[in-house]
Amino acid sequence: MKRILAVVEYDGTAYQGWQKQINGQTIQNQIEKVLSKILNCPIAIYGSGRTDAGVHALGQTFHFDVEKKIEDLKLFKHSINCLLQKDIRIKSLKYVNHNFHARLNAKSKTYMYLFSLNELSAFNYPFIYDVHGELNFELFKQCLNLFVGRHNFINYTSKEEDELGYVRTIHNISIKHTKNIYRIDFQGDGFMRYMIRFIVGTCLACGLGKTSFEDIKRSLIDFSMKFAPIKAPAKGLFLVKVKY
């Protein structure tokens, strides 16, 4: 038995997220179906983590096992991409140790979120959040900086329970813009369901005058307060890289 690590990119617009569902179109469903057809046996894939419905990826990873070594992985990758939907593309394949696990061995992940303060074209609308209003950009950046470091993010996820006690470390948050597009990069040891979207949406709300800086600051230390984060749309979020 041989284990293969794959890197995949996808436009998540048409999918109900990464994770396999019985009656839903997901990225995992599509890839497993193609691999099983090519290898003529049931193939299960194991991702580095889930992405939600509408979220995209430039560097999602997953592993799977094959009974015999495939000599030409480049040709095998080409065969997979020929059968996949055109909004899913395998970027690379390589052999890894049989003990390797795409999720358990991940050391950090990098996500980016894109937004604009201007009207979008038809070509970039599916991938960028179009924010309406006058944004206090300096206040927005100050809000983002609150989330750097090790925090309990229970107020910034929809998870009902968490084996790590909702504690995660965000190593770095950076923001830059070119022309009318703003890009926020998040690098951390792990991110929970909706976590980045809640952070972005809430910080934007503060920058737009819809919530206060002090309430956001308190939400990271006071878990008894009734704090309702604001969730940014899925379309602006991309999983960029998984580091091992």
Stretch (H or E) spanning 25: none
Q: In this structure, what token pair is assigned to residue 180?
A: 């009318």
Which pairing describes strands 129-130 and 108-116: parallel, antiparallel, or unpaired?
Answer: parallel
Q: Clarify whether 185 is annotated catalytic.
A: no
Sign of CA dihedral 101, 104, 105, 111: positive
Q: Is 214 helix (H, G, I), strand (E, B) or coil?
A: helix
Query: Which one is catalytic: 11, 52, 65, 185?
Result: 52
Angle of helix 195-207 relative to helix 137-145, nearest 10 degrees, comes to 140
Torsion 50-54-57-62 (CA) sign: positive
Helix (H) or strand (E) holding 108: strand 108-116
CA 73 – CA 77 distance, rounded (Å): 6
197 phi, psi to nearest 5 deg: -65, -35
Please state, in angstroms and as integers, the Cα–Cα distance from residue 22 to each residue in 19, 30, 54, 69, 93, following that order: 10, 12, 18, 30, 27
Active centre residues (catalytic): 52
